[in-house]
Amino acid sequence: MAFDIQETEDQPFIGAIRNRLEQSDCAKGAELDSILKGELHDKLSLQFLKKNNHTDMVLIENLKKAIGEKNSITHGACVWANGIMNACTTNDVFLRDNINWVAKATNWGRFSATASLGMIHQGNKKEALNVLQPYFRGGGPDGQSSPYSTAGAYYAYGLIHANQATPELITYFTDGFRNSGANETI
């Protein structure tokens, strides 16, 4: 029942159940809390999707070669296709192996390329900061500072933590917004 509640109910309802569990002397309280927080679901889902990822990397590589380097619309489409094909698998090999090609994106293309990491790593909350840290510091895939990459990293961080907000997460976003100064992109 805890798995069903975690998967289908909204956060306030789950929070109320978790509070009741804390107040009770339930022997399995810690296990139920882990399920209700989504930790066990995320762990099992990531394991399953990583193990059963049959993405045809040759297909995405051929798509990259076919579009060349000049067309920003198809460049972005290729990056998003990779994100969709590898959603929730943590398989960001294409992006890492083609970092110079991905870095040719500008402005909102750069935002999208960074944000696609959130789709790929969705549910991988333990590694989220390690994956996105270079972009939070203002660096892009090529090491250059870009507010679009930083904004994309915040979006990706939100996707990774989808429907599992915590006070720490909200503080992280709020601090990032405050520290962005007058940069409206972030």
Rg, Å, the chain Cα set:
19
Q: How far apart are CA 96 and CA 102, in angstroms?
A: 9
Q: What is the pLDDT of residues 35-44, one digit of tens each?
A: 988 888 888 8
31 assigned to some structural domain: yes
**Closest alpha carbon to 140 in 117, 120, 119:** 117
pLDDT at 83: 92
Q: What is the pLDDT of residues 118-168, one digit of tens each?
A: 999 998 888 888 888 888 765 555 556 678 888 888 999 999 988 777 888
By residue count, the chain amounts to 186
| Residues spanned by the domain of 131 | 57-179
Choose between 140 and 68: higher pLDDT: 68
Q: Is 12 in the same domain as 104?
A: no
pTM: 0.79
Q: Where are the alpha helices (DSSP H) in the chain?
A: 2-8, 11-23, 29-36, 39-51, 57-67, 72-85, 93-97, 99-102, 108-120, 128-136, 147-160, 167-179
Burial of 4 (0-12, 13-18, 19+ CB in 10 A): exposed
46 assigned to some structural domain: no
Q: Is the pLDDT of residue 77 over 70?
A: yes
Q: How far apart are CA 12 and CA 78, in angstroms?
A: 38
Question: What are the residues whose beta carbons fall under 8 Å from the beta carbon of 29, sequence distance 6 or more?
Answer: 21, 22
52 assigned to some structural domain: no
Q: Is 17 in the same domain as 65?
A: no
**Lookup result for tokens 């892009």:** 140
pLDDT at 86: 93
Q: What is the pLDDT of residues 84-100, one digit of tens each?
A: 999 999 999 998 888 88
Label residue 48 by pLDDT band (50, 70, 90).
very high
Burial of 111 (0-12, 13-18, 19+ CB in 10 A): buried
Average pLDDT over every residue of 94-117: 87
Q: Is 74 in the same domain as 24?
A: no
